[in-house]
DNA sequence: CGAAAGGATGTTTTT
DNA sequence: CATCCTTTCG
C-alpha cells in the first residue's frame, strides 16, 4: 500500500477533498490553494493573459482547472464570463460538480466543444440560415444522407464508397476548408469527386435543416470568422476561457478558441503533447506546441510531478514514451513508492488471456486486496471486448463495458429516435426514409424512389410529398394511401410535441405500431429489442426529471452528443472494460492492457508512417499512466479476430520498457482449465531477452504446447507464409495440413486471394477453424489424401 | 412488396 | 464475425 490517495476510476485528481462551501458564500481564496503544490498554485492564481499549462499524466490537471474556475469566481469574476471546455460530457459533468462543491450555485458554462457549438448555433444559427430546431446527423445518418445526395445527383456510379467521400468531407470541415477551398486544391480523381459532391451535400444539408457532427465546430468557426459583431460580443462575454486536453484540438476548435480570445486574451489551455491520441480525427498537436508562438507573452507552467502512479509505473511509462522522436524531451517524476513491478503476461490465445485475467481479478478481490471497481481492462479495439464479456459471465464477475453510445446505436432505438427527429424537424428526409416503412406499411423501394422524384420536383421534403402522393400518377394507389396515412400519423403526433419526451416516445411506440410489431414477433431477438425500446422511455424519463426544461430537442441533443464514457457508472462495484481511447482522463488502481501485440497495439493501420506509430505509442502511454498501483500488460501467441485465427507477435512496445524493472510471466504452458486459484505462474525475472516468439520449429520448443514434440526433421518445414504474407498455391479441399497449435486437420474450404486467402480446416480435436493462410503457422502434409 | 437465404465484403480509435 | 448487398421466391 504505497500510495494512499484516490478511489477507483474517477476522473483525475479525484483524491482531493473538496467538501466545503456553505450556501452562496465565496470561499476565502487561500483556502483554494491549501493542498496544491507551487506550480499548481501558480497556474490557479494566474491573473490575466494567456496561460499554457503543460500537465504530465497524473499531475492533477483537472484539479488545477476546477480550482482555477473557483479562484476566478472567488476573485469576483462573474460566472457567466467564464467558459470551460472539456473533452467529454462526463468530464464536464464532474467538473461542474466539483466547482459546485467549492462554489455552490455557480453558473459557469462547462461543456464539450461540440456542446458549445450547438449552444452557439441555437443562438445564432439564423445568421447561417439554420432554423432553431435543426437536426444533428451522426456518422450513420451522414453516410446515408450522402449516399442519397449522390444518388439524387446521379453521381452514384463512381467507384468510391459514400463513406469514403463522407469522411473526406469531414476531414475538410475539420480543417476549415469550404467546398470552394476544397475544389481549388483537388488534384487526384478522388478529390475531384469529393469536390463535386461536397457543395451539393452542404446545400442539401441546409435544405433539410440538418447539420453533421463536424458542422458543430465548422459552422461556429465560420460564424466567428465572418460575423465580427457576434465575435466581439462573445469575446466580451467569455472573458476567461479554459480548455482541457488542448493537445487534442483540431483546426476548427483552434479557430473558435482564437476568435474568442482576441480582445480578452485570458485563455488558459491545459494539455500534454504526450497524450495526443486523436490525430486521425483531425487533432493537430501543433496547436499546443505552437501556443507560445500564437501568444508570445504566454506564461508557461510545467506540471511534471505525477501523484497518481507508483514509481515502477511512472518509470516504465517514461521509458516507453522516450522512444518517440517527434517530441519535446521531458520526464514524469513521482515521489510515490516504487510499488510492485509492471508485469507482462504471455498467454496461449485470446480466450486464455480473457479467462485468466478475469480469474485473477476475481482472486484479487476475494483476497480482499482490491474491489472490482478498482480494476480496469483496456483494449485497443472494441472487438476484443467480446471474449471478455463471456469470461466475465462465466466467472460471475461484475463488469461494465464502457460504450455508452452502444445503446443509442441499436437499430430499434435509432428507429424510434428517427421518429422523434421527424416530429421535431419534418424536413429530415433521412429520418423519414428510415421509419416510413418500419413497421412494414407496404411502402417499398420503388414507391420511395417515386416519392423522391415528386419531392425533388416540388422542392419539398419527403414528408410533405407524402401528403400529395395521391395526386402523383406514377405512385400506385395502394402505396399512395399508405403514404398519406403515414403523413397523417406524423402530423397528428406533431400536435403532441409539448409532451415530455418519455410520454411522447410512448405515444410514438403505440401509434406507429412499432411496439405492436415487436410484441407480436416470433423472433426471440425482438423481445430484447422491445426491452431496449422501453429502456429508451426510461432514459427519456430520467432525462426529463433532471432537465425539465430541455424538452424533446434537449433529449435528442444529449443523445446525439453522448460519448462513450458518458454512460460509465464510476460508482458501481464492477470491473470497467473500455478502449484505450476511452480511458483518457481516468485512473484506476489496477490496470490490465490486453493484446499488446503487433498489429493491434500498434495497430496495423498505423504502421505505414512514423507519425502514426508514435500516436500508437502515446496511446499505449495513456493506458499505462491510468494505473495507480498495478499495471499488467498482456499478449497472446494466437489471436482470433473476425472469426479468423492468426499468429500474434508481442508488441515492439514491450521491448521498449525497462527490461530490468519489468516482470515477465509466461502462462502458455499452464492449461487454463486446470489452473487452481493457488497456482503460481512461472516467473522469468529479469528475462534474458525478448519474450519467446512463436517461432520456427528449430528454435525454442517451449513456446507452444500441443502438436509439436520436436525432432520431426523428415517433414517439410512449417509453412510460414507470415514471412511473405502471400497466398499459397495448391491449397484445396481435402488437403491435410499440420498446424502449430491445432495439430493435423483437413482443409474443408478455401476462399479469397492474396493476403486475404482463408481456409476452413477441420481438426479432430478442435473442430472447424477458419485460418488466414498468409498468417497461419502450418505445413501441408499430403496433397492427395482427400476422402 | 417483402421475407429469407446466400454471398461478397470489409474492417481502429470517436466528439 | 457481422453487416450489407443481391438474388430469389412467394
Residue with the larger pLDDT of the pair A613 and A668: A613
pLDDT band at residue A260 using 50, 70 and 90 as cut-offs: very high
Rounded to whole angstroms, the Cα distance separating A781 from A745 reads 10
Q: How many CB atoms lie within 10 A of CB A161?
A: 12
pLDDT band at residue A156 using 50, 70 and 90 as cut-offs: low
Mean pLDDT for the stretch of residues A515-539 = 83
Instruction: Give the angle subtended at the CA of A280 by the CAs of A275 and A283, to the nearest 5°.
Output: 60
CA distances (Å), origin A446, targets A474, A476, A479, A497? 10, 10, 10, 32
Task: Give me the DSSP letters along A67-114.
Answer: HHHHHHHHTT--GGGEEEEESSHHHHHHHHHHHHHHSTT---EEEEHH
Single out the residue of A230, A198, A217, A208 nearest to residue A134, CA to CA.
A208
Cβ of residue A756 near strand B, that is under 7 Å?
A: yes
Mean pLDDT for the stretch of residues A116-123 = 94
**A26-125+218-303 and A135-208 share one CATH topology?**
no
Query: Is residue A622's pLDDT more than 90?
Result: yes
- pLDDT tens track for A449-496: 888 888 888 889 999 999 988 888 888 888 888 899 999 999 999 999
CA of A772 to C1' of C9 (A): 36
What residues contact residue A170 under an 8 Å CB cut-off, 6+ apart?
Answer: A142, A212, A213, A214, A282
Q: HEC profile for A17-73?
A: CCCCCCCCCCCCHHHHCCCCCHHHHHHHHCCCCCEEEEECCCCCHHHHHHHHHHHHH
In contact, A654 and A309? CB cutoff 8 Å: no
Query: Is residue A129's pLDDT more than 70?
Result: yes
Q: Identify the CATH assignment for A311-403+567-666 out of 3.30.420.40, 3.40.50.1820, 3.20.20.20, 3.40.50.300.
A: 3.40.50.300
Domain A26-125+218-303: which topology? Rossmann fold (3.40.50)
Rounded to whole angstroms, the Cα distance separating A82 from A489 reads 45
Rounded to whole angstroms, the Cα distance separating A277 from A245 reads 10
Cβ of residue A385 near strand B, that is under 7 Å?
A: no
In CATH, the architecture of A719-786 is Beta Barrel (2.40)
Q: Please state which of the ranges A555-559, A716-720, A723-727 shows the lowest mean pLDDT.
A: A716-720
Q: What is the CATH number of domain A409-541?
A: 1.10.486.10
Kindly report which amino acid residue has its CA closest to the C1' atom of nucleotide B7: A751
- pLDDT tens track for A503-513: 999 999 999 98
Predicted pLDDT at A720: 42
Counting beta carbons within 10 angstroms of the beta carbon of residue A297, is it exposed (0 to 12), middle (13 to 18) or buried (19 or more)?
A: exposed
Percent of chain A at pLDDT exceeding 90: 50
Q: Please state which of the ranges A154-163, A705-714, A751-760 shows the lowest mean pLDDT.
A: A705-714
Cβ of residue A485 near strand B, that is under 7 Å?
A: no
Kindly report which amino acid residue has its CA closest to the C1' atom of nucleotide B9: A752
Rounded to whole angstroms, the Cα distance separating A345 from A634 reads 5
Mean pLDDT for the stretch of residues A571-596 = 94
Rounded to whole angstroms, the Cα distance separating A647 from A553 reads 49
Cβ of residue A280 near strand B, that is under 7 Å?
A: yes
Mean pLDDT for the stretch of residues A335-345 = 95
What residues contact residue A452 under an 8 Å CB cut-off, 6+ apart?
Answer: A152, A462
Mean pLDDT for the stretch of residues A609-635 = 95
Mean pLDDT for the stretch of residues A415-426 = 92
CA of A322 to C1' of C2 (A): 40
Query: Is residue A63's pLDDT more than 60?
Result: yes
Note if the bond before A439 is cis, omega within 30 degrees. yes
Rounded to whole angstroms, the Cα distance separating A473 from A734 reads 60
Known catalytic residue: A330?
A: no
Predicted pLDDT at A85: 96
Task: Name the closest nucleotide to A619, judged by C1' and CA.
Answer: B13
For A602-715, strand residue ranges (E) read 627-641, 644-647, 663-666, 682-684
Query: Is residue A716's pLDDT more than 50?
Result: no
* A 643-662 residues, CB < 7 A, strand B: none
Mean pLDDT for the stretch of residues A746-775 = 74
Known catalytic residue: A245?
A: yes
Known catalytic residue: A181?
A: no
**What does the buried/exposed string (b/e) look like for A404-440 if buried means 16 or more CB atoms within 10 Å of the residue's CB?**
beeebebebbbbbbbbbbbbbbbbbbbbbbbbbbbee
Residue with the larger pLDDT of the pair A731 and A697: A731
In contact, A299 and A49? CB cutoff 8 Å: yes
Rounded to whole angstroms, the Cα distance separating A589 from A593 reads 13
Binding residues of A, by number, are 55-62
pTM of this structure: 0.85
As ranges, strand C nucleotides with an atom below 7 A of a protein CB are: 1-2
Q: Which residue has the cell 429520418?
A: A431
CA of A753 to C1' of B8 (A): 13
As ranges, strand B nucleotides with an atom below 7 A of a protein CB are: 1-3, 8-15
Crossing angle (nearest 10°) for helices A89-102 and A61-74: 50
Catalytic pick among A348, A434, A618, A626: A626
Q: Please state which of the ranges A136-140, A655-659, A714-718 shows the lowest mean pLDDT.
A: A714-718
Counting beta carbons within 10 angstroms of the beta carbon of residue A371, is it exposed (0 to 12), middle (13 to 18) or buried (19 or more)?
A: middle
Mean pLDDT for the stretch of residues A734-751 = 76
For A196-355, strand residue ranges (E) read 210-212, 240-243, 266-271, 299-303, 305-306, 333-334, 343-349
For A115, the enclosing helix (H) or strand (E) is: helix A113-124
Rounded to whole angstroms, the Cα distance separating A75 from A200 reads 51
In contact, A75 and A28? CB cutoff 8 Å: no
CA of A355 to C1' of B5 (A): 36
Q: Is A391 helix (H, G, I), strand (E, B) or coil?
A: helix
C-alpha cell at A355: 479467462
Q: Domain locations in chain A?
A: 26-125+218-303, 135-208, 311-403+567-666, 409-541, 719-786
Predicted pLDDT at A256: 96
For A594-662, strand residue ranges (E) read 627-641, 644-647
Predicted pLDDT at A727: 58
Residue with the larger pLDDT of the pair A197 and A155: A197
The mean pLDDT of chain A is: 83
In CATH, the architecture of A135-208 is Orthogonal Bundle (1.10)
**List of protein residues whose beta carbon is under 7 A from strand C:** A 386, 642-643
Q: Please state which of the ranges A533-537, A614-618, A782-786 shows the lowest mean pLDDT.
A: A782-786
Q: Is A786 helix (H, G, I), strand (E, B) or coil?
A: coil
Q: Please state which of the ranges A60-64, A548-552, A565-569 shows the lowest mean pLDDT.
A: A565-569
What residues contact residue A353 under an 8 Å CB cut-off, 6+ apart?
Answer: A345, A347, A387, A594, A595, A634, A635, A636
Predicted pLDDT at A25: 64
Rg of chain A (C-alpha set): 29
Query: Is residue A227's pLDDT more than 90?
Result: yes
What residues contact residue A678 under an 8 Å CB cut-off, 6+ apart?
Answer: none
What residues contact residue A760 under an 8 Å CB cut-off, 6+ apart?
Answer: A747, A748, A749, A750, A751, A768, A769, A770, A771
Amino acid at each position: 500500500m504505497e500510495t494512499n490517495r484516490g478511489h477507483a476510476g474517477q476522473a483525475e485528481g479525484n483524491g482531493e477533498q473538496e467538501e466545503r462551501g456553505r450556501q452562496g458564500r465565496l470561499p476565502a481564496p487561500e483556502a483554494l490553494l491549501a493542498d496544491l503544490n507551487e506550480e499548481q498554485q501558480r497556474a490557479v492564481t494566474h491573473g490575466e493573459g494567456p496561460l499554457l499549462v503543460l500537465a504530465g499524466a497524473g499531475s492533477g490537471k483537472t484539479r488545477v482547472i476546477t480550482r482555477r474556475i473557483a479562484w476566478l469566481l472567488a476573485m469576483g469574476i462573474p460566472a457567466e464570463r467564464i467558459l470551460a471546455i472539456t473533452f467529454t460530457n462526463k468530464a464536464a459533468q464532474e467538473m461542474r460538480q466539483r466547482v459546485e462543491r467549492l462554489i455552490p450555485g455557480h453558473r459557469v458554462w462547462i461543456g464539450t466543444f461540440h456542446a458549445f457549438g450547438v449552444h452557439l448555433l441555437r443562438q445564432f444559427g439564423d445568421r447561417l440560415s439554420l432554423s432553431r430546431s435543426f437536426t444533428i446527423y451522426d456518422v450513420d445518418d451522414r453516410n446515408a444522407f450522402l449516399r442519397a445526395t449522390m444518388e439524387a445527383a446521379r453521381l452514384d456510379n463512381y467507384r468510391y464508397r459514400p463513406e469514403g467521400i463522407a469522411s473526406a468531407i469531414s476531414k475538410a470541415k475539420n480543417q476549415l476548408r469550404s467546398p470552394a477551398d476544397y475544389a481549388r486544391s483537388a488534384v487526384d480523381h478522388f478529390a475531384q469527386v469529393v469536390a463535386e459532391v461536397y457543395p451539393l451535400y452542404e446545400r442539401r444539408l441546409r435544405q433539410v435543416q440538418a447539420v453533421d457532427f463536424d458542422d458543430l465546430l465548422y459552422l461556429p468557426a465560420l460564424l466567428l470568422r465572418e460575423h465580427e459583431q457576434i465575435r466581439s460580443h462573445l469575446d466580451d462575454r467569455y472573458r476567461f476561457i479554459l480548455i482541457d486536453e488542448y493537445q487534442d484540438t483540431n483546426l476548427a476548435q483552434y479557430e473558435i478558441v482564437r476568435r474568442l480570445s482576441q480582445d480578452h486574451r485570458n485563455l488558459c489551455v491545459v494539455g500534454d503533447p504526450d497524450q495526443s491520441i486523436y490525430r486521425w480525427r483531425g487533432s493537430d498537436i501543433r496547436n499546443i506546441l505552437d501556443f507560445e508562438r500564437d501568444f508570445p507573452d504566454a506564461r508557461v507552467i510545467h506540471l511534471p510531478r505525477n501523484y497518481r502512479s507508483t514509481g515502477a509505473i511512472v518509470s516504465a511509462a517514461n521509458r516507453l514514451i522516450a522512444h518517440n522522436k517527434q517530441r519535446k524531451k521531458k520526464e514524469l517524476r513521482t515521489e510515490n513508492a516504487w510499488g510492485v513491478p509492471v508485469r507482462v503476461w504471455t498467454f496461449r490465445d485470446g480466450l486464455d488471456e480473457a479467462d485468466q485475467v478475469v480469474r485473477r481479478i476475481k482472486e484479487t478481490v476475494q483476497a480482499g486486496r482490491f474491489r472490482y471497481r478498482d480494476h480496469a481492462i483496456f483494449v485497443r479495439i472494441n472487438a476484443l471486448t467480446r471474449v471478455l464479456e463471456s469470461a466475465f459471465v462465466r466467472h460471475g464477475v461484475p463488469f461494465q463495458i464502457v460504450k455508452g453510445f452502444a445503446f443509442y446505436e441499436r437499430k430499434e432505438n435509432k428507429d424510434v429516435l428517427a421518429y422523434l427527429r421527424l416530429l421535431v424537424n419534418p424536413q429530415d428526409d433521412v429520418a423519414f426514409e428510415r421509419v416510413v416503412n418500419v413497421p412494414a406499411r407496404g411502402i417499398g423501394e420503388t414507391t420511395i424512389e417515386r416519392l423522391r422524384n415528386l419531392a425533388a420536383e416540388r422542392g419539398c421534403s419527403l414528408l410533405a410529398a407524402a401528403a400529395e402522393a395521391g395526386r402523383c400518377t406514377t405512385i400506385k394507389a395502394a402505396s399512395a394511401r399508405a403514404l398519406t396515412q403515414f403523413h397523417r400519423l406524423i402530423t397528428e403526433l406533431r400536435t403532441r410535441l409539448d409532451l415530455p419526451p418519455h410520454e411522447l416516445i410512448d405515444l410514438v411506440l403505440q401509434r406507429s405500431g412499432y411496439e405492436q410489431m415487436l410484441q407480436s414477433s416470433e423472433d426471440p431477438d425482438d423481445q430484447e429489442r422491445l426491452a431496449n425500446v422501453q429502456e429508451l422511455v426510461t432514459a427519456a424519463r430520467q432525462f426529463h426529471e433532471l432537465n425539465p426544461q430541455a424538452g424533446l430537442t434537449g433529449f435528442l441533443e444529449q443523445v446525439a452528443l453522448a460519448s462513450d464514457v458518458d454512460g460509465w457508472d464510476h460508482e458501481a462495484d464492477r470491473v470497467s472494460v473500455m478502449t484505450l481511447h476511452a480511458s483518457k482522463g481516468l485512473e484506476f488502481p489496477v490496470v490490465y492492457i490486453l493484446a499488446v501485440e503487433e498489429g493491434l497495439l500498434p495497430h496495423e493501420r498505423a504502421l505505414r508512417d512514423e507519425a502514426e506509430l508514435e500516436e500508437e505509442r502515446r496511446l499505449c502511454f495513456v493506458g499505462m499512466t491510468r494505473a495507480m498501483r498495478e499495471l499488467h500488460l498482456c499478449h497472446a501467441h494466437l489471436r482470433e479476430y473476425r472469426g479468423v485465427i492468426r499468429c500474434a507477435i508481442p508488441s515492439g512496445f514491450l521491448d521498449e520498457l525497462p527490461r530490468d524493472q519489468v516482470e515477465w510471466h509466461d502462462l502458455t504452458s499452464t492449461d487454463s482449465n486446470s489452473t487452481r486459484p493457488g497456482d503460481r505462474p512461472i516467473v522469468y525475472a529479469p528475462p534474458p531477452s525478448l519474450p519467446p516468439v512463436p517461432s520456427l520449429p528449430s528454435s525454442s520448443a517451449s513456446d507452444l504446447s500441443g502438436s509439436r514434440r520436436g525432432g520431426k526433421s523428415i517433414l517439410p518445414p512449417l509453412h510460414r507464409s507470415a514471412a511473405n504474407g502471400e497466398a499459397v498455391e495448391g491449397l484445396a479441399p481435402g488437403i491435410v495440413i499440420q498446424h502449430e497449435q491445432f495439430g493435423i486437420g483437413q482443409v474443408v474450404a478455401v476462399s479469397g486471394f492474396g493476403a486475404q486467402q482463408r481456409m476452413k480446416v477441420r481438426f479432430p480435436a478442435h473442430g472447424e477453424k477458419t485460418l488466414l493462410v498468409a498468417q497461419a503457422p502450418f505445413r501441408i502434409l499430403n496433397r492427395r489424401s482427400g476422402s
